[in-house]
A and B are shown apart, each in its own frame.
Chain A
């Protein structure tokens, strides 16, 4: 159940670590796996050991997004239970998303974490192919 002010983990290598939902697109209710949302980057990810006082340059080089950026994202995991057509019910321990651009292409080039299989029904095949595994 992703709604306004929900904090999500960002599991791609775009440079965002924690993002906050500011809008659920085309929905009056909360977003679930596969739904598109608008987020603001709250916390940046530190890449590599050079993250320190001198590493700010490398951070900005590696990170495609910065803190405070407003981006589109797709929800890939929810802590809320979702029922599948085969009767199984799946829930994850956290809420997670990946950032995308306006055209729906992922900003990051690699994801680290499992994603929900509902993405297939909503035609996010690019995200599914980048994900290490889907449940």
Chain B
């Protein structure tokens, strides 16, 4: 800091001893502090200090919410094994009932990443947006993949009666029964969460 200070002299020192005419005396009192003015350095440039603050916050949030990175990989666009629109998903919550449905939309926004699940309950269409990095979400599992890749990013046309999948409860039930057989019982919930990616590959 000291090296950056720039001092600017206002009144020369020799004029202090013999004051010029017509200038108030108070001006000419030898005050060392006033003789030099401290020029503040410009404030540090925030863009230089932190070029991408939102990215830093997102990274720190993801580090706490998704420390293993498994969830981020599941929703990575480049990951061919990950979730895509049209897949039937089953989302377990830490408390409360699980949510399942066909994924109509994936809103990729870093830590705010969310999925839109559509299902039919008692023949009424129900759509739920779920934040996938929420601490309340225990696991996101792929029940059934779409046979052919969807050619749209948002499958809102599946709301139309012509394209509606209907209820996915039957699919989810068979999936859960199969997984219970394959998982050989005594696995804890945390283990299932960790092995999500691998278990999916095994199934295929």
Contact = CB atoms under 8 A, between A and B. Distances in A.
Interface of A: 77, 81, 86-94, 96, 112-114, 132-133, 135
A88 B129 contact: yes
Interface residues of B, number: 17
A113 B130 contact: no
A88 B122 contact: no
A90 B127 CA distance: 6
A92 B125 contact: yes
B126 A90 contact: yes
Interface string B96-128: 100100000000000000000000011111111
A130 B119 CA distance: 22
Contacts of A113: 122-124
B92 interface: no
A133 B97 CA distance: 12
Given A94-B124, A135-B121, 15 more contacts: A87-B130, A88-B99, A88-B130, A89-B128, A90-B127, A92-B124, A93-B124, A93-B125, A94-B125, A96-B124, A113-B124, A114-B122, A114-B124, A133-B121, A135-B126
Q: 10 closest Cβ contacts across the A-B interface?
A: A93-B125, A89-B129, A114-B121, A114-B122, A87-B131, A91-B127, A113-B122, A90-B128, A86-B136, A114-B124
